[in-house]
Amino acid sequence: MHPDEIEEILFTPEVIQAKVEELAQEVSCDYTGKELHLVAVLKGALVFLADFCRALSIQVTVDFMVVSSYVAAHSSGEVRILKDLDFGIKGRHVLIVEDIIDNGITLDYLMKTLSLREPASLKICTLLDKPERRLVDIKPHYNGFVVPNKFVVGYGLDFNEKYRNFPYVAILKKEAYENL
């Protein structure tokens, strides 16, 4: 059962879990023998991070960032850091953990900003990718699912702070956000 605001469930908890384990295996393999530092972008990545880090078979450290991005008309977007990392990343292997890449502006900004801090490596792992909406050329190194050009919620993703606790990823009905 799911609420009326949901149009369609895209990925069930079981399907998500299998994909998270697949991603975690790939990452564990790629970073074997290295110390991996996960940088999660709050709040959307919180549920994915919790499952993903527990599925890894290598030791990791975790830090968080909070950013806000908005795209104004005739601009390529603006990103602000609301909470920066607690730890330095110079010389470290950093993997950014994100919920979704939409227009790509947030991750493009994070890649540029964090590379200036001279990490040993810097890559992106996202659960969802919505490539149709891209405004800048950015591709995730690890991606769970490609999603259609629809607004999705659940498994950490919100609309107006709601739906983050849904265990599945679903398409939100247009009425749910047009009624506001």
- Active-site residue numbers? 102
Residue 28 or 69: the one with the smaller Cβ distance to ligand IMP is 69
Neighbours of 39 (CB within 10 A): 25
- Residue 44 as a binder of Mg ion (CB under 5 A): the answer is yes
Cα distance from N-terminal residue to C-terminal residue, the chain? 24
Q: Which is nearer to ligand IMP, 49 or 101 (CB)?
A: 101
180, with CB counted inside 10 A (0-12, 13-18, 19+), is: exposed
Tell me: does residue 101 bind ligand IMP (CB under 6 A): yes
- The site map against Mg ion for 80-109 (x = CB under 5 A) is -------------------x----------
* Residue selected from 56, 65, 94, 105 as contacting ligand IMP according to rule CB under 6 A: 105
The interface mask with ligand IMP, positions 23-42, x = CB under 6 A, is ------------------x-
Q: Residue 63, class by beta-carbon neighbours within 10 Å (0-12 exposed, 13-18 middle, 19+ buried)?
A: middle
Residues touching ligand IMP, count (CB under 6 A): 17
Q: Is the Cβ–Cβ distance between 42 and 83 less than 8 Å?
A: yes
Q: Which two tokens stand for residue 29?
A: 């393999």
Q: If DSSP codes are grouped into helix, strand and coil, which group holds residue 80?
A: strand
Please say which residue, 28 or 103, places its beta carbon nearer to ligand IMP: 103
Q: Indicate the residue among 54 and 162 with the shorter CB distance to ligand IMP.
A: 162
Residue with the two structure tokens 């629809």: 150
Report the interface residues with ligand IMP, using CB under 6 A.
41, 44, 69, 98-107, 151-153, 157
